[in-house]
Amino acid sequence: MAPPTADPSDPADEDAFTPSTDELVANNARYMETFSDAGLGLVPRRHLAVVTCMDSRMDIFEMLGLGHGEAHIIRNAGGVVTDDVIRSLVLSQRLLRTKEILLIHHSDCGMQKITEDVFKATLEAEVGIRPSWALESFADPYADVRQSMGRLHNSPFVMYKDHIRGFVYEVANGQLVEVVDPRG
């Protein structure tokens, strides 16, 4: 399977790109005028960590009805539990007292549209070296949530494992569909 190609009709296409940083910094100046989050504690109030995909269609706070200061949000491509996600969760649990982990993958994920070998071969052909990191692409987000739950349960570093649940977010309608953990 070839890597996805740019869609010329998509405004996010490279040809339509214009930098956003200046606009975002100006937005921040307006945000500061009404900033109301001063004094939030470092420890998330819900003692919750959410591991999810970096997909821009998912507003995690709005989707779950979370407020600022209530949860750690850990995002990466696919929402896959990798060594770096475990590193972040271990810090979240051991230093910042989170005890619950929510995993959220989603339908129509870009990680479903590529294969590791093809993607890495394309990069190697382009830059002359094959990446050492795992891409962690997958065909089925439900199966990958189960795999991610298994990685958390099997990690000796994750302290709190009693409250791990996984879901797939349906991008077409906003529904969270729970993925049954085979461990019960």
* 19-33 burial code (b ≥16 CB/10 A, e <16): eeeeeeeeeeeeeee
> What class, spelled out in words, does domain 41-179 have in CATH?
alpha beta
The predicted structure's pLDDT at residue 7: 52
> Domain boundaries in the chain?
41-179
Give the list of residues 6+ apart from residue 51 with CB closer than 8 angstroms, or none.
Answer: 74, 75, 79, 81, 85, 89, 101, 102, 103, 104, 148
DSSP at 109:
-
Kindly write down the DSSP assignment for every residue of 54-102, as one continuous string.
Answer: --TT--HHHHHTPPTTSEEEEEEGGG---HHHHHHHHHHHHHH---EEE
pLDDT per residue rounded down to tens, the chain (184 residues): 444 555 544 555 667 889 999 999 999 999 999 999 999 999 999 999 999 999 999 999 999 999 999 999 999 999 999 999 999 999 999 999 999 999 999 999 999 999 999 999 999 999 999 999 999 999 999 999 999 999 999 999 999 999 999 999 999 999 999 999 877 6
101 in Cβ contact with 163 (< 8 Å): yes
The predicted structure's pLDDT at residue 152: 97
Give 36's Cβ-side CA count (13 Å radius): 3
Q: What element of type H or E holds 125?
A: helix 116-127
How far lies 97's CA from each of 2, 101, 146, 171, in Å? 43, 12, 24, 31
In which order are the strands placed within the sheet that holds 100-106?
71-76, 48-53, 100-106, 164-169, 176-179
DSSP at 124:
H
